[in-house]
Amino acid sequence: MAEQEGLEYGKADFVLMDSVTLPEFMDNLKLRFEKGRIYTFIGEVVVSVNPYKNLPIYGRDTIEQYKGRELYERPPHLFSIADAAYKAMKRRCKDTCIVISGESGAGKTEASKYIMQYIAAITNPSQRAEVERVKNTLLKSNCVLEAFGNAKTNRNDNSSRFGKYMDINFDFKGDPIGGHINNYLLEKSRVIVRQLGERSFHSFYQLILGAPEQTLRSLHLQKDISTYTYTRSLAQVKSSINDAADFREVSDAMKVIGFKPEEIQTVYKILAAILHLGNLKFVVDGDTPLIENGKIVSVVADLLGSKAELLEKALLFRTVATGRDVIDKQHTEKEAIYGRDAFAKAIYERLFCWIVTRINDVIDVRKQDAALHGKNTVIGVLDIYGFEIFDNNSFEQFCINYCNEKLQQLFIQLVLTQEQEEYQREGIPWKHIDYFNNQIIVDLVEQQHRGIISLLDDACMNVGKVTDPMFLDALNKQLGKHAHYSSRKVCPTDKALEYDRDFRIRHYAGDVVYSVVGFIDKNKDTLFQDFKRLMYNSSNPVLKAMWPEGKLSITEVTKRPLTAATLFKNSMIALVDNLASKEPYYVRCIKPNDKKSPSLFDVERCRHQVEYLGLLENVRVRRAGFAYRQLYERFLQRYKMISKLTWPNHQMSSDRAAVQKILQENHFDQDAAYGKTKVFIRTPRTLFSLEEKRSESLLKVIIFLQKIWRGTLARQRYKKTKAALTILRYYRRYKVKSYIKEVINRFRGVRESRDYGKHIKWPTPPKVLRRFQEDMQNIHNRWRAYQLIKSLPASEIPKVKDKVAAFENLKGQRSDMGLQRCWEGSYLESKQENAQNSVYFVSRANELQRKDKYMKALFSSHVRKVNRFNKVEDRAIFITDRHLYKLDPSKLYKVMSSTPLYNVSGISVTNGKDQLVVFHTKDHKDLIVCLGENGTLTSESRVGELVGVLANHFKSEKRRLQVTVSHPVQCSQHGRSCSITVETKINQSQPHFAKSRSGFTLIVPAN
């Protein structure tokens, strides 16, 4: 029972229909198609309706949904059949096969590609290189074989014109290790002729429209399909095919498979030679045929690696051996044209068979020791032409429809056999099912001495001129009374048949009228020996290898070759025997309409296909009185939740007893039968009721499981959280203890250390102790500072405090702070610096002390200052604990101005080595100076000393001095903002202020 599909999509399995009738079958098929459900089960058979559009149901996500699942667990899909075949092969080491059938345009080729895609996706999880190579080759081979074996027909843009059976070999681990491709009855007549509106094989159009210009020139081809007789169409051909893109894809695929460059080039040459052959024209000079366009002969000969005169001779003459004598017999015009066309068909057929052989050489399983590597198992995929009924049905349609008769016979036989065997195994009485046995039609075609193929072979072997009407006359005499054969001679009133041309066979799929015109020639498949010798003697080794029989001498006697029909019959018998030896899985493809419309469902068209595919008989056989059967274990696994006695596990003697209890409890036991390993349910209603009860019970089970699971998760989270907190607590304690021990070890003996622990690196603290470490570092620094300072004289302590203040304000902003030298404070008192005028300064300082009552002189120095009028003058500054004085050294240090310190709001310096200082005042009359010695730039940096002295004094008065380090320096002169920049200049002897656009520039010596 497929999950995840409601009844609004119809029944996912035709076996579950209420009544097995054709109208109900068609209604269900139509409903599912219209709802976008193109796949439906008939037990283990998938019915596929061509959607004529791309559907998003083949991606990696969909593959994962079907991987390893049972058929009934997921909605119907090609992947479910592919997985079932793969599991049967892997689990039971049993060879399996997937038979894809349906008429032309029903989607068989696409179905086979999706099955291959699925098998490739689920295998080789370990990504072994050799397995990947095999997988890629198998997938790419589809592309190449489609190019050379498929063509556009009136029913299908990508119709397979050959039959393909591919064996995929797997090792004991279930990974593909190789494969083998068998091809059947390539429709080679399509090379030279086809019905209106159809095309020849894709390969010709891909070469003409997709090959590069250089390649086309080398092949003497033009980019125009109408130029060549074999590709020219008498009617407009509508197609959605992109030949140019397909050419590139096929070319890449051939390289991936392993075709050598010279082999690919040979393939192009053969295709080009065939196209040129079609353009050869013959004219008659008296009774002698001649080639009208002789240049083409040279081109074809060059492409085939032969000589022009030898090719021309093979086209115009036939070498005949009479005893020991060899003569050249001249062709008639009709014989020459026949020979040319037969040669073109034969070359293409040999090319196609060589491509298949070349692919097989790459993917064939290497010889392995079964005892060492295990037994190889096989999945076969059969994608073969579907049943065909055209306006003109010839020898090819006869063979194709015979093939479908054989496969239908196998299908019915295997399905019936499987059902009978299952009922016998389970001990369930078998109910006889009426169905159409098409063995009578198979015998009509293949029966020894009496079948159509035998009569056709007899006609081909008779001495003398045997015509197609003579063959038809033989059919009428031998088969005239057969229930499934008729002709105009047998049934004169049937005017749909033409005298001496048509015969009708009543196939399982419907009546088909065949025209015998060409039957004998196509069955003989005559190709003059001259062409075979010509190709064998080609200088191209690839071409030479395609024609091994060309080495025979003209006088050598050989056994009569088997006819085309007999070869095909033998291959079909071998194919059916091969399929019968494997466990079969079926995909039955249906074409919904002839207009390739994704929305049109032609009921009559589909009904005809359902009838001739025998799908209704398949449903009847599958049900045989019981719509559903399942192993007790799996049935119990699915429905055990609807009974308290079986949920979650039963205590009964067997699974069978538990299943019986479930059905009895729900009053379904009268609608069921119990086999040895399986339970059989008679009507679909019972199964639907079980599914409804299961859905109701599942909801309760899910809620209960969610409750239990949520509670379990909550308890687990609580326990984990509690354990984590305990671990965290102990771990933190451990980290704190370890940290403290490490600090103690590192700082042991720090009192005796020369630098009191400055060199000691602190250990990295745990996060919880980061703040603690910062505090400890501060305490250590203060202790270390105390240890250093307590040894200093009391007179040095103020200087140390000044340096500390300078460091705090300028750290990281100005590199040169003068901390290494001795700070004297009042340099104007120093006789070393101010030898001549120090007496005058001292006198002036004493006078100011008496006048302004200051307690302490903080700093004094010569400076160069500039005012708002750009006037530069040498002055001196004298800073006390109360005032900032500007003095004139030239006038015995006369006081030029006095600024109370409480009016000083800040000080600005640069980040360089210059001595620029700007005193900011609250009344915006900033003082701009450059510290120096008697008008020259001092070699000592006194900026740091000035900043430290002032900052320390402000701090002692519990005031804050705003120290700004920047470049340029901003200031205000009587309310006007300006900036001061510093520039260096070579050969500048002393600092100097100059006017600039934004204010002033201090020019200092470069050295």
DSSP 134-172: HHHHHHHHHHHHHHHHEE--SS-TTEE-SEEEEEEEE-T
* Catalytic position from the list 104, 142, 169, 200: 104
Tokens 């996912």 belong to 12
Catalytic site residue from 102, 210, 305, 386: 386
Closest by Cα among 484, 486, 489 to 469: 489
The alpha helices in 640-683, defined as continuous H runs, are 655-665
The tokens of 1006 are what?
Answer: 């470069």
Q: What is the largest CA-CA distance in the chain?
A: 159
- Check 80, 160, 306, 377 and give the catalytic one: 160
Q: Is 394 noted as a catalytic residue in this protein?
A: no
Whether 323 sits among the annotated catalytic residues: the reply is no
Q: Which helix (H) or strand (E) holds 976?
A: strand 976-985
Q: Which two tokens stand for residue 573?
A: 């018998």
Q: What is the three-class DSSP state of 502? A: strand
Whether the CB-CB separation of 285 and 176 falls below 8 Å is answered with no
- DSSP states of 411-457: HHHHHHHHHHHHHHHHTPPPPP-----THHHHHHHH-TTTSHHHHHH
Kindly give the interhelix angle for 308-316 and 294-303, rounded to the nearest 10 degrees: 110
Q: How far apart are CA 179 and CA 173, in angstroms?
A: 16
- Active site (annotated) includes residue 898: no
Out of 112, 156, 454, 486, the active site residue is 156
Q: Is 538 a catalytic residue?
A: no
CA dist 423 and 602 (Å) reads 37
Rounded distance between C-alpha atoms, residue 969 and residue 929, angstroms: 12
Distance (Å, whole) CA 348 – CA 344: 6
Annotated catalytic residue: which of 150, 154, 159, 941? 159
Among residues 146, 198, 349, 388, which one is catalytic?
388
Handedness of CA 745, 750, 753, 759 (dihedral sign): positive
Catalytic residue among 96, 109, 141, 401: 109
- Contact residues for 526 (Cβ-Cβ < 8 A; gap 6+): 342
Residue 876: C-alpha distances to residues 279, 328, 512, 897, 928 (Å): 115, 134, 128, 11, 12
Nearest Cα to Cα of residue 569 among 399, 450, 408: 399
Q: Is 374 left (phi over 0), alpha (psi -120 to 50) or beta?
A: left
Q: Mark whether 686 is an active-site residue.
A: no
Instruction: Please confirm, yes or no, whether 160 is among the known catalytic residues.
Output: yes
> Of 43, 105, 178, 210, which residue is the catalytic one?
105
User: Hey, how many other C-beta atoms are within 10 angstroms of the C-beta on 743?
Assistant: 18
- Residues marked as catalytic: 104-105, 109, 156, 159-160, 386, 388
